[in-house]
A and B are shown apart, each in its own frame.
Chain A
Amino acid sequence: MSDTAQSGQPLPAGVDGLVHDWQADQQTFKGVPWAKSMMWIFLLSDTFIFACFLVGYMKVRITATEPWPDAAAVFALPAFGIDVPLLLIAIMTFILISSSGTMALAVKYGYERNRNKTFWLIIATAVLGASFVGLQIFEWYKLIDDGVRPWGNPFGAPQFGAAFFLITGFHGTHVTIGVIFLLIIAFKVRNGALEEERPGFLTKRRGRYEMVETVGLYWHFVDLVWVFIFAFFYLW
């Protein structure tokens, strides 16, 4: 698809190019595959979901009458006999950020048609994502063990547990869905469905390597959202 678009006249640079594209026929984003543009627009919509969640969280936190629990104390993890604040969450964040790195490499090798490396890098991304979810489950378990509930907790304002479980839960669901899609794409890469453009099982759309990039976009987004959740829940 991108080949045909580039075969025409060269596009003007800068703002002129933008105006040219929006004035043109057929495609507004020249040479951008449908799935990729759709993913970008979906992510914009999803951004609004997380923005509403975080604004709601800020609102209940600001108007809470009881003191807000101290994040450093609540999220501390004992290591070698001392409570290290934010230890677990630092590891989780590190894992998720690293998975963005492996994903970016997977996209690069995908476009180079290096099936083996692409497959293993996507698998690495999925494993990192799954371990993030696993650690999150551990974190939830620990908090529940400490007496934190959606309706109250021993450390202060009851909205702490409510917002925490709802928002990290929603994000964790996003990561889980991402892992499932990563695994599907990984096996499509491995059995050559993308290379041979075999039709998909459900949608009957032909496979193509852009799928790796599309699922990658989603993955980077989930990662970016985590940075905001991390900042608002653990550092504020």
Chain B
Amino acid sequence: MARLGHEATSYAPPLEMPEMELVHPKTFIGKYVFSQDAKVIAIQYFITATSIGLVALVLSILIRLQLGFPGTFSFLDPSSYLQHVTMHGMIMVVYLLTALLLGAFGNYLIPLMCGARDMVFPWLNMLSYWTYLTAVLILVASFFVPGGPTGAGWTLYPPQAITPGTPGYDWGIILMLVSLAVFIAGFTMGGLNYVVTILQARTRGMTLMRLPLTIWGIFMATVLALLAFPALLVAALMMLMDMLAGTSFFMPTMIALGEQTGYEDGSPLLFQHLFWFFGHPEVYIVALPAFGIVSDILATHARRNIFGYRMMVWALIAIGGLSFVVWAHHMYVSGMNPYFGFLFATTTLIIAVPTALKVYNWVLTLWKGNIQLTVPMLFAIGFIFTFVNGGLSGLFLGNVTVDVPLADTYFVVGHFHMVMAVAPIMVIFGAIYHWYPKVTGRMMNDTLGKWHFWITFIGTYGIYYPMHYIGLAGVPRRYYAYGETGFIPDSVISLNAAITIAAIVVALAQLLFFYNMFHSYFRGREAGPNPWNATTLEWQTEHTPPHHGNFGRELPVVYRWAYDYGVPGARHDFIPQNVSPDDVETLPEGQEVPAR
């Protein structure tokens, strides 16, 4: 009997757990509004996060209009410019990327890929979404209060954030801090569910080392979030106290608008430490799920097992651990003790080791693979490019001496947009094109998808590559207008106009994507249960889209890892995880797998 596949066993361990208790509502509201089904909750997360993300996208275009054509648009004054910058950053990082990658993809994929019927606590999961929605609504409310949203920058640094004169001093900053606290509460409910489901509710045969890397990425990111968000919560509560109760945690003795404020003796540096203790892991909360998802897309569409699976898992864990000891590299110019800079530069550069390992493994997965240039694959390969680009400029900023002249210039803007904005967005698009057939039962249009990819990919380079040059020229970020400034050459002015045009083109290209998504939902080609011939469990469900409870009467049993693609001797070029070695269809001796 042939034993085909990587460490596949035909042994199925005995069932340890009772069936999950699922609530099966009959009403429309119970099924689609206050639903406890993780898949519905995932779609709710997706719609909310995408909607608020579109607001942030419009804000970014407004920012670019001001920078590209200063003084042309009368509706952009300095205050509203700062407010747009702040809200764009905060929405994109927290309310879009975190919520989309963990709330939407986590909810949809964790139970399906682990072989569970749902999250372990579906009601808590539902509450998590509604708390998140509340946080988003509080944030949106800040656009409509007197004074508008806060304009303190997404880092909300005190003393500026809560000093009179900063836009949004009246209400905006309060609503922002409250919204963050509510978001953290909601995320904690969801995050606990994700972690416990992955650890305690896998199906028979699904060991941790057989989990798809998507789940590993989401798992590590959730652990990071559960340990990093507390710092942000504490910072937000302390700042609320400074704002409302007159305490001086973060506020030094100072004079504002010609008068001495009531504050004395606080420490703005304390806020920066708390904020970045959250802020740096946050980068990896966004990046690790993207790392995991891209691994699965690459393996599936290159018809090749992922290279170095174990090392990929350990690299995720190493990056997660290291991400907690690098936070002060965001604070080299803050006036902290210079010896700290040495320490944090060292740990920062060490992170490059597991990260580079992952990049090598992605490339080696493609090596001699049977690469299918599908739309998800294009986005996954695009991710490797943008991520490597952003990672390399990160090496510049990680070194103290190089960072000092580059700090707070457009070099930084180019760097972090490349590495944690464009790269995860590439993966998110790839993941949507990849899993859309499972969620809706229909394929997205291929031609439109390719147009969407190429315009987005080339366009983002058009936006962010010139920013590195502008940064090297010393142009500071977050400025409303530069006026008559001697050191800024004319080329920067014209580049800024070019960047703005590229940004508008990329933003408009997203209309293709949304049109594709809506149109395919009604008119798309029928997908069938497993259009990509993938191995993981979500493609082996009885129904497409899966019903509440995910699997049929019996949960699947897992016999192998998630990457048995192109196994020599097997009739098909993939063996699903729930196929026992005894049941694999083999080829006669000496015959090769036919090329696709």
Contacts and interface: CB of A to CB of B under 8 A. Distances in A.
Given A34-B120, A66-B265, A158-B264, A41 B226 contact: yes
Interface in A4-31: 4-5, 7-8, 22-30
B231 A27 contact: no
A52 B229 CA distance: 11
B203 interface: yes
Contacts of B229: 45
A202 to B, nearest CB: 6
Interface in A143-158: 149-151, 157-158
Interface residues of A, number: 53
Given A48-B227, A162-B247, A60 B192 contact: no
Contact of A203 (B13, B123, B209, B233): B123
User: 6 closest Cβ contacts across the A-B interface?
Assistant: A162-B247, A151-B246, A48-B230, A52-B234, A203-B123, A49-B230
A46 to B, nearest CB: 8
Interface string A188-215: 0000000000000011111000000000
Contacts of B277: 52
A11 to B, nearest CB: 12
A166 B233 CA distance: 13
B29 interface: no
Nearest to B274: A52
B202 A26 contact: yes
Most chain B CB neighbours (cut-off 10 Å) among A23, A44, A46, A150: A150
Contacts of A25: 13, 202-207, 210, 558
Contacts of B13: 8, 24-26
B262 A151 contact: yes
Contacts of A203: 121, 123-124
B504 interface: no
Contact of A27 (B199, B227, B270): B199
Contacts of A22: 208
24 contacts: A5-B16, A25-B203, A25-B204, A26-B200, A27-B201, A34-B200, A38-B120, A38-B196, A41-B192, A52-B234, A56-B249, A56-B274, A63-B265, A65-B265, A66-B265, A151-B245, A151-B262, A158-B247, A161-B247, A162-B241, A162-B249, A203-B123, A204-B23, A204-B123
Given A60-B266, A202-B123, A205-B21, A28 B205 contact: no
Nearest to B558: A25
A37 interface: yes
Interface in B506-556: none
A44 B265 contact: no
Contacts of B595: none
Most chain A CB neighbours (cut-off 10 Å) among B23, B202, B238: B238
A159 B266 contact: yes
Contact of A4 (B16, B202, B208, B262): B16
Q: How large is the interface on B (under 10, 10 to 19, 20 to 34, 35 or more residues)?
A: 35 or more
Contacts of A162: 241, 245, 247-249
B15 interface: yes
Interface string B260-290: 0010111100100110010000000000000
Given A25-B204, A59-B267, A157-B265, A41 B195 contact: yes
A134 to B, nearest CB: 23
Contacts of A5: 16
B199 A29 contact: yes
A32 B200 contact: yes
Interface string A110-135: 00000000000000000000000000
A1 B200 CA distance: 12
Contacts of B192: 38, 41-42, 45
Most chain B CB neighbours (cut-off 10 Å) among A1, A5, A158: A158
A157 B231 CA distance: 24
**A interface, over-half SS:** helix
A46 B199 CA distance: 19
B35 interface: no
A94 to B, nearest CB: 29
A28 B16 contact: no
Most chain A CB neighbours (cut-off 10 Å) among B192, B203, B205: B192
B233 A49 contact: yes
A60 B267 CA distance: 7
A159 B249 contact: yes
A150 B265 contact: no
B486 interface: no
A26 B248 contact: no
B199 A37 contact: yes
A41 B190 CA distance: 12
B188 interface: yes
B18 interface: yes
Contact of A166 (B18, B230, B237): B237
Given A150-B241, A162-B247, A166-B247, A53 B199 contact: no
A66 B209 CA distance: 56
Contacts of B204: 25-26
Nearest to A2: B16
A37 B17 CA distance: 15
B335 interface: no
A64 interface: yes
A162 to B, nearest CB: 4
A158 B230 contact: no
Interface string B302-343: 000000000000000000000000000000000000000000
Most chain A CB neighbours (cut-off 10 Å) among B23, B246, B247: B247
Interface string B554-575: 0000100000000000000000
Interface in B187-244: 188, 192-193, 195-196, 199-210, 226-227, 229-231, 233-235, 237-238, 241
B588 interface: no
Nearest to B223: A41
A204 B23 CA distance: 7
Interface string B18-34: 10010100000000000
Contacts of B246: 149-151
B249 A45 contact: no
Interface in A53-69: 53, 56, 59-60, 63-66
B230 A28 contact: no
Contacts of A53: 234
Contacts of B594: none
Given A26-B203, A29-B199, A56-B234, 16 more contacts: A24-B207, A25-B558, A26-B206, A41-B196, A41-B226, A51-B230, A56-B274, A60-B266, A66-B265, A149-B246, A151-B245, A157-B265, A158-B265, A159-B265, A163-B249, A165-B245
A32 B265 CA distance: 48
Contacts of B265: 60, 63-66, 157-159
Nearest to A8: B14
Contacts of B266: 60, 159
A228 to B, nearest CB: 15
